């Protein structure tokens, strides 16, 4: 089956990320069917030149509220709290997530309004975040973001569920975290100090030369986890955000198993590395605070007359 759009597509210039609460279970199948019909038969075609993508995922509480815990993909779980987080994951986890991306702000707005309209009254918006793209692949810290991502076909085994869970094959898991960055503190560092934090050169994202001169607490080193089975990888596809009072990253990553994300984040947040060395925490953690987040299962596109989420009501 085909994975949903908005996972492997090159990131667009605008994004709206919305989480929803289930309000009326009896209306949910009809509204989800209507949403999928409009997305697949109209929105993706009409706005193809703006690279519009609408991506839908389901959180663990939804399976529980619908009495369908048995339909949950085995690897779907609750997001744990990490040291330094400023939120309660149980309080910000949504029942549903919708990611709407496109290259035009107005088109994204029209589409996300349609999505909200289609989902009501079954689902009500809980959290609503607006993100933007990364010109030159640079986020609000001014560094290139995405260099260390897997590329091309190497992304498939990182992102899509396979033989380990045939019932959910070609689905994926989405990690969503709103990360507020302390830009005032960041901008007090000169470029050399910033490079020590990230572990790459600001001008071109090149690694340090020689590589051994990379600080062990740099983000590059702490987010690299080698295991006997190979490097643990995730596909980051985040969108920065910024306004008068706050700025940061709507951190989005895609994995076939949430353990991939948790292994990397665990090494970043802890002093100790997976290999037993103890360099200290990831230096980047001093400059950000996560303020909301959740985990979602993102099924593959349905076939025939199915719809996204139909497996919840069988």
Binding site for ligand HEM (CB under 6 A): 139, 141, 143-148, 179, 181, 198, 200, 205, 219-220, 223-224, 234, 236, 249, 251, 261, 264-265, 268, 284, 288
Helix (H/G/I), strand (E/B), else coil: 109? helix
Residue with smaller CB distance to ligand HEM, 55 or 223: 223
Residue with smaller CB distance to ligand HEM, 147 or 213: 147
Return the H-helix or E-strand segment holding 67: none
Least distance between ligand HEM and beta carbon 68 (Å): 29
Q: DSSP character for 134?
A: -
What radius of gyration, in Å, describes the C-alpha atoms of the chain?
19
Residue with smaller CB distance to ligand HEM, 43 or 284: 284
DSSP 199-249: SB-TTT-PBPSSGGGS-TTSHHHHT-EEETTEEE--EE--EEEE-SS-EEE
Residue with smaller CB distance to ligand HEM, 12 or 223: 223
Reported residue count of the chain is: 314
Q: How far apart are CA 26 and CA 19, in angstroms?
A: 19
Q: Which of 251, 235, 242, 39 lies closest to 150 in space, CA to CA?
A: 235
Q: How many CA atoms lie within 13 A of 256 on its CB side?
A: 19
Least distance between ligand HEM and beta carbon 138 (Å): 8
Residue with smaller CB distance to ligand HEM, 229 or 304: 229
Residue with smaller CB distance to ligand HEM, 124 or 291: 291
Q: How far apart are CA 303 and CA 299, in angstroms?
A: 12
Q: Which of 131, 64, 128 lies closest to 95 in space, CA to CA?
A: 64
Least distance between ligand HEM and beta carbon 40 (Å): 32
User: Cβ-closest residue to ligand HEM?
Assistant: 148
Q: Which of 170, 159, 176 lies closest to 20 in space, CA to CA?
A: 176
Residue with smaller CB distance to ligand HEM, 96 or 250: 250
Least distance between ligand HEM and beta carbon 245 (Å): 17
Q: How far apart are CA 287 and CA 194, in angstroms?
A: 11
Least distance between ligand HEM and beta carbon 22 (Å): 28
Q: Is the distance from CB of 122 to CB of 24 less than 8 angstroms?
A: yes
Q: How far apart are CA 240 and CA 99, in angstroms?
A: 14
Least distance between ligand HEM and beta carbon 207 (Å): 7
Least distance between ligand HEM and beta carbon 42 (Å): 35
Q: How far apart are CA 235 and CA 150, in angstroms?
A: 7
Q: How many CA atoms lie within 13 A of 28 on its CB side?
A: 23
> Which of left, alpha, beta for 277 (phi over 0: left; psi -120 to 50: alpha)?
beta
Residue with smaller CB distance to ligand HEM, 217 or 224: 224
Least distance between ligand HEM and beta carbon 267 (Å): 9
Residue with smaller CB distance to ligand HEM, 40 or 289: 289
Least distance between ligand HEM and beta carbon 170 (Å): 23
């Amino acid at each position: 089956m085909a994975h949903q759009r908005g996972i492997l597509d090159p990131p667009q210039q605008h994004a709206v990320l919305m989480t929803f609460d289930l309000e009326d279970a009896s209306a949910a199948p009809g509204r989800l069917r209507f949403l999928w019909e409009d997305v697949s038969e109209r929105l993706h075609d009409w706005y193809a030149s703006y690279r519009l993508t609408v991506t839908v995922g389901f959180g663990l509480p939804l399976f529980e509220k619908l009495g369908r815990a048995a339909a949950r993909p085995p690897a779907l779980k609750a997001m744990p709290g990490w040291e330094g987080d400023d939120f309660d994951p149980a309080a910000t986890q949504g029942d549903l997530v919708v990611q709407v991306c496109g290259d035009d702000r107005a088109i994204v707005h029209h589409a996300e309004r349609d999505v909200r309209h289609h989902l009501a009254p079954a689902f009500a918006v809980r959290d609503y975040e607006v993100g933007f793209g990364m010109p030159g692949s640079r986020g609000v810290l001014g560094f290139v973001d995405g260099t260390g991502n897997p590329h091309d076909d190497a992304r498939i085994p990182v992102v899509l569920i396979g033989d380990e869970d045939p019932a959910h094959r070609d689905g994926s898991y989405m990690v969503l975290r709103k990360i507020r960055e302390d830009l005032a503190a960041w901008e007090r560092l000169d470029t050399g100090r910033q490079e020590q934090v990230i572990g790459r050169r600001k001008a071109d994202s090149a690694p340090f030369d020689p590589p051994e001169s990379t600080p062990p607490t740099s983000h590059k080193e702490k987010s690299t986890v080698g295991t006997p089975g190979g490097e643990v990888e995730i596909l980051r596809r985040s969108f920065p955000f910024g306004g008068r009072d706050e700025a940061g990253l709507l951190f989005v990553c895609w994995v076939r198993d949430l353990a991939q994300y948790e292994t990397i984040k665990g090494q970043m947040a802890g002093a100790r590395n997976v290999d037993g060395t103890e360099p200290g925490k990831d230096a980047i953690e001093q400059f950000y605070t996560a303020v909301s987040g959740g985990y979602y299962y993102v099924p593959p596109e349905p076939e025939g007359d199915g719809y996204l989420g139909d497996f919840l009501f069988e």
